């Protein structure tokens, strides 16, 4: 009895550092010799002595921290010297103990490891960013010599993140940010996915506590609803594997909150789109079984084309191996499947740590380590050429974030964009006004079109023009949310204004034909009309007309007749012939567009076609499409070029038959550009020994300009035949 009580009170009084030491010894007992453990305990006493009188923000003795770090490395089966370095990792930085002393007391190897994780001091005259960069650079040099340096550093960071709540809010944010930007990606690059997940989750939670909570709540709530369907899918797959006597084991897989958030942000999709994907893993004994299991699930559920990835034959840069596929499951739910062997799984969880954790046995451990070393050697090369530490960090980030590209402004500022980003994305990321007026760019002094995809290290100089404005086609290739939403906003506003203006002109034109003026219509009559049409405002009505959703002539008739409420029947045979044509400039923008099929230019006789929701498309009178248009009587209207105002550059297309000799196309091109015209496109349609048939799109002011160019080209003796293309 008495004895029992004594033990109990002993435990109550046990200091946390003693409890941790015991825990460490337990962990180490699983894989180290007693004499090595004794050596580690000696390091513990040395460290505890050096740190005595120092406390963590939580109030515990400081030594608790390095011992906790040592425990997590012990769980990865780190060797004796690595564990000793973990216990002593802060003594050089935070106590009077020197590197030489450590070498004397323990070994130069331990001293080197501790020195590797020690931050550089004497960086007082540098900014925080520079000091941070300098320290990361130093750490990389040390880890290139010995990978255990980064293992200690990651375990150190993990424990600091686990105990982050003791820190002040600004420190929490700074440390969390650095963890997400540097340490989690390093863990990922080294294949240590378990550590990476933990760092990401802790970092995300510290940086965005509210978002974390909301997502956490959702995940927990959704989990219940999903259980049934997960079990159904899992057992169907398992049954199928069993049927064909395949040695595979199916397991459900849950995504962590940080990666759900990443996906939502990066792909701009909702929580449900991320979370409603059902993820499973199949563990097999051999590589051969992996491929057979793949065939088996593809037979069970339909695979989504283009989603299969073979990371077994082609491992990822960090050594990761698996087969990935996406299937369409019951009720159409998407199912993500990863298929791998148990050995591949170990590597995918612990990466280079597998080297210590699963000593020798399989060769993929060795290949992971070889890859890590290769990566570090590459970084050392980079570091030799990098001017300063900040530059080194930028280079490092290029390497750590393969899903991003880093490019430069002409001033040398770095801009970070997602992979696949184009010149337009870049322009909007610099400034909305630049995006709104960009026309092309110069990349490394070469002129490139807007849809050019950017690559790491490019210097991008955006060329803008006052007349330029966002084009709906850009939406096909921009990838950043900023560019997308800016373009949409601009177009929406711009198109609305244009539609209103055009609608007013169309309505006024029809009213004029019956001797009325919009300004002179009785306001109460307008109110009655809007009421009858159930339209909120005159602007809304005009916008509708401009977009081609309502015929201006019908509205004009309604305004003119006795009772605005009476429906109007239109005799469309005559409707177009008693009004004056609509005058266009050709530069109206989005509600008046020039047809691509016949490319009308000022001076051509033209015809307009109402394209509901989009406005008016202008065709050449001779265009075949315009003949089709005229069959639908109500949808077309007479248009004419404005004589004074139709100015600008209009694209036209010509077809040339040239003698197929060297330099003919160059002669044609220089002739065209000498006539103040730009070539927009050249296509060689047909070619034999004698003749080459080419289509050239060029810009002209009007019909006269084009005729002059054609005349001049005809005089070249290499031109056999030339015609304008009008569809
Ligand atoms: Mn530490």
pLDDT tens-digit map of 474-514: 887 888 878 888 888 888 887 788 889 889 988 988 888 88
Structure tokens at 492: 């929406």
Backbone angles phi, psi at 562, to 5 degrees: -45, -55
Q: Are 215 and 201 in contact (CB under 8 A)?
A: no
Ligand 1 center to residue 659 CA distance, Å?
Answer: 78
Backbone angles phi, psi at 326, to 5 degrees: -125, 135
Ligand 1 center to residue 175 CA distance, Å?
Answer: 13
Question: Which residue's structure tokens are 């990863």?
Answer: 338
Strands of 304-423, DSSP E? 309-310, 323-328, 334-341, 404-408, 414-418
Mean pLDDT for the chain? Answer: 83
By DSSP bridging, strand 592-594 and strand 650-659 are unpaired
Q: Round to whole Å and give the CA distance between 364 and 366.
A: 5
Q: Round to whole Å and give the CA distance between 131 and 112.
A: 21
Arithmetic mean of pLDDT, 431-450 = 89
CA 426 to mean position of chain CA atoms: 13
| Lowest-confidence segment of 41-50, 54-63, 393-402, 417-426 by average pLDDT | 393-402
Ligand 1 center to residue 136 CA distance, Å?
Answer: 15
Ligand 1 center to residue 155 CA distance, Å?
Answer: 9
Within a 10 A sphere around the Cβ of 691, how many other Cβ atoms?
A: 13
Ligand 1 center to residue 152 CA distance, Å?
Answer: 9
Question: Which residue's structure tokens are 């793949």?
Answer: 294
pLDDT band at 152; cut points 50, 70, 90: very high
Ligand 1 center to residue 94 CA distance, Å?
Answer: 10
What is the model's pLDDT at position 400? 72
C-alpha distances in angstroms, 657 versus 204, 530, 699? 64, 58, 20
Instruction: Determine which one of 79, 93, 276, 508 is catalytic.
Output: 93
- If one compares 418 and 33, the residue with the highest pLDDT of the two is 33
Q: Look at residue 383 and tell me whether its pLDDT is greater than 80.
A: no
DSSP output for 278-302: EEEEEEESSHHHHHHHHHHHHHHSE
Q: Are 417 and 407 in contact (CB under 8 A)?
A: yes
Q: Are 357 and 377 in contact (CB under 8 A)?
A: no
Q: Give, for 132, the enclosing helix (H) or strand (E).
A: helix 128-145
Q: Look at residue 3 and tell me whether its pLDDT is greater than 70.
A: no
Ligand 1 center to residue 146 CA distance, Å?
Answer: 18
Structure tokens at 128: 């925080």
Query: Is the C-alpha dihedral spanning 625, 629, 635, 641 positive or negative?
Result: positive
Q: Look at residue 11 and tell me whether its pLDDT is greater than 70.
A: no
Q: Which residues pair with 213 in a beta bridge?
A: none
Q: Round to whole Å and give the CA distance between 66 and 62.
A: 8
Arithmetic mean of pLDDT, 651-660 = 89
Backbone angles phi, psi at 46, to 5 degrees: -60, -45
Structure tokens at 616: 């008016």
Q: Is 94 annotated in the active site?
A: yes
Ligand 1 center to residue 142 CA distance, Å?
Answer: 16
Q: Round to whole Å and give the CA distance between 103 and 398.
A: 36
Instruction: Determine which one of 60, 79, 94, 181 is catalytic.
Output: 94
Ligand 1 center to residue 261 CA distance, Å?
Answer: 29
- pTM, 2 dp: 0.57
Structure tokens at 364: 């993929």
pLDDT band at 222; cut points 50, 70, 90: confident
Q: Are 589 and 494 in contact (CB under 8 A)?
A: yes
Ligand 1 center to residue 179 CA distance, Å?
Answer: 14
Ligand 1 center to residue 42 CA distance, Å?
Answer: 19
Ligand 1 center to residue 141 CA distance, Å?
Answer: 19
pLDDT in tens, 386-439: 667 777 776 676 667 667 787 888 888 878 888 889 999 999 999 999 999 998
Give the alpha-carbon dihedral of 492, 493, 497, 503, to 10 degrees.
Answer: 20
Going along the chain from its start, the domains and CATH numbers come out as 15-162 (1.10.3210.10), 218-366 (3.30.460.10), 581-646 (no CATH), 650-724 (3.30.70.260)
User: Coil, strand or helix: which one is 573?
Assistant: helix
Ligand 1 center to residue 24 CA distance, Å?
Answer: 17
Q: Look at residue 34 and tell me whether its pLDDT is greater than 90.
A: yes
| Lowest-confidence segment of 132-136, 169-173, 183-187 by average pLDDT | 132-136
Ligand 1 center to residue 209 CA distance, Å?
Answer: 24
Ligand 1 center to residue 259 CA distance, Å?
Answer: 27
Ligand 1 center to residue 535 CA distance, Å?
Answer: 69
What is the model's pLDDT at position 398? 65
User: Coil, strand or helix: which one is 548?
Assistant: coil
CA 269 to mean position of chain CA atoms: 12
The H helix count followed by the E strand count for the chain is: 31, 20
What is the model's pLDDT at position 387? 66
Q: Are 683 and 632 in contact (CB under 8 A)?
A: no
Q: Round to whole Å and give the CA distance between 147 and 151.
A: 7
Ligand 1 center to residue 183 CA distance, Å?
Answer: 14
Backbone angles phi, psi at 91, to 5 degrees: -70, -40
Ligand 1 center to residue 156 CA distance, Å?
Answer: 5
Query: Is the C-alpha dihedral spanning 558, 561, 564, 568 positive or negative?
Result: negative
Count of alpha carbons within 13 angstroms of residue 392, beta-carbon side: 26
Within a 10 A sphere around the Cβ of 451, how many other Cβ atoms?
A: 13
SS3 content of the chain, % helix, strand, coil (to 5): 55, 15, 30
CA 379 to mean position of chain CA atoms: 25
Q: Look at residue 339 and tell me whether its pLDDT is greater than 90.
A: yes
User: Coil, strand or helix: which one is 157?
Assistant: helix
Structure tokens at 269: 């999709």
CA 428 to mean position of chain CA atoms: 15
Ligand 1 center to residue 631 CA distance, Å?
Answer: 81
């Amino acid at each position: 009895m008495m004895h029992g009580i004594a033990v109990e009170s002993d435990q109550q009084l046990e200091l946390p550092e003693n409890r941790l030491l015991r825990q460490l010894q337990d962990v180490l007992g699983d894989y180290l010799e007693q004499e090595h453990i004794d050596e580690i305990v000696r390091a513990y006493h040395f460290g505890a002595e050096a740190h005595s009188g120092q406390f963590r923000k939580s109030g515990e003795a400081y030594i608790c921290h390095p011992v906790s770090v040592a425990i997590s490395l012990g769980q990865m089966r780190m060797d004796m010297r690595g564990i000793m370095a973990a216990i002593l990792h802060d003594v050089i930085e935070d106590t009077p103990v020197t590197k030489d002393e450590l070498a004397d007391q323990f070994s130069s190897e331990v001293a080197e490891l501790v020195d590797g994780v020690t931050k550089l001091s004497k960086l007082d005259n540098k900014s925080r960013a520079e000091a941070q960069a300098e320290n990361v650079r130093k750490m990389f040099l040390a880890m290139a010599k010995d990978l255990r340096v980064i293992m200690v550093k990651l375990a150190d960071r993990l424990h600091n993140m686990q105990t982050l709540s003791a820190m002040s809010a600004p420190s929490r944010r700074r440390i969390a940010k650095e963890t997400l930007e540097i340490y989690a990606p390093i863990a990922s690059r080294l294949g240590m996915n378990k550590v990476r997940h933990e760092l990401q989750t802790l970092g995300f939670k510290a940086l965005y506590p509210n978002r974390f909570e909301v997502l956490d709540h959702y995940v927990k709530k959704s989990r219940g609803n999903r259980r049934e369907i997960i079990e159904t899918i899992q057992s169907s797959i398992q049954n199928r594997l069993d049927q064909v006597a395949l040695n595979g084991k199916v397991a459900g897989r849950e995504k962590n909150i940080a990666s759900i958030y990443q996906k939502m942000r990066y792909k701009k999709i909702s929580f449900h789109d991320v979370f409603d994907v059902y993820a499973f893993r199949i563990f097999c004994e051999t590589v051969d079984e992996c491929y057979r299991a793949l065939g088996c699930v593809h037979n069970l559920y339909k695979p989504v084309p283009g989603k299969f990835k073979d990371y077994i034959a082609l491992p990822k840069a960090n050594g990761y191996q698996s087969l990935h596929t996406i299937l369409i499951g019951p009720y159409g739910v998407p199912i993500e499947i990863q298929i791998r062997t148990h050995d591949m799984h170990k590597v995918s969880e612990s990466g280079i740590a597998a080297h210590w954790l699963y000593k020798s046995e399989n060769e993929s451990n060795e290949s992971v380590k070889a890859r890590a070393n290769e990566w570090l050697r590459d970084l050392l090369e980079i570091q030799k050429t990098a001017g300063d530490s900040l530059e080194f960090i930028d280079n490092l980030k290029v390497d750590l974030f393969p899903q991003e590209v880093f490019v430069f402004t002409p001033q040398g500022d770095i801009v970070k964009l997602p992979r696949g980003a184009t010149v337009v994305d870049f322009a909007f990321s610099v400034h909305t006004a630049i995006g709104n007026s960009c026309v092309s760019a110069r990349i490394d002094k070469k002129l490139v079109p807007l849809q050019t995809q950017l690559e790491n290290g490019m210097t991008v100089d955006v060329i803008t023009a006052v007349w330029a404005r966002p084009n709906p086609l850009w939406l096909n290739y921009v990838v950043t949310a900023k560019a997308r939403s800016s373009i949409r906003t601009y177009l929406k506003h711009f198109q609305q204004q244009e539609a209103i203006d055009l609608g007013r002109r169309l309505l006024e034109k029809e009213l004029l034909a019956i001797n009325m003026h919009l300004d002179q219509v009785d306001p109460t009559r307008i109110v009655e009309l809007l009421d009858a049409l159930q339209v909120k405002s005159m602007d809304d009505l005009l916008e509708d007309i401009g977009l081609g959703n309502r015929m201006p002539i019908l509205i004009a008739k309604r305004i003119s007749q006795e009772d605005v409420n009476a429906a109007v029947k239109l005799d469309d045979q005559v409707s177009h012939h008693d009004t004056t044509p609509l005058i266009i400039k050709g530069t109206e923008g989005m509600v008046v567009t020039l047809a691509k099929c016949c490319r009308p230019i000022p001076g051509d006789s033209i015809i307009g076609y109402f394209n509901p929701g989009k406005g008016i498309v202008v065709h050449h009178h001779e265009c075949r499409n315009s003949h089709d248009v005229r069959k639908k009587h109500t949808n077309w209207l007479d248009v004419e070029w404005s004589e004074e105002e139709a100015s600008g550059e209009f694209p036209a297309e010509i077809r040339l038959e040239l003698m197929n000799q060297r330099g003919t196309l160059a002669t044609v091109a220089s002739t065209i550009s000498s006539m103040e015209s730009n070539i927009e496109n050249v296509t060689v349609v047909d070619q034999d020994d004698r003749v080459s048939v080419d289509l050239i799109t060029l810009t002209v002011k009007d019909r006269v300009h084009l005729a002059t160019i054609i005349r001049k080209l005809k005089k070249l003796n290499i031109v056999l035949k030339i015609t304008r293309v009008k569809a």
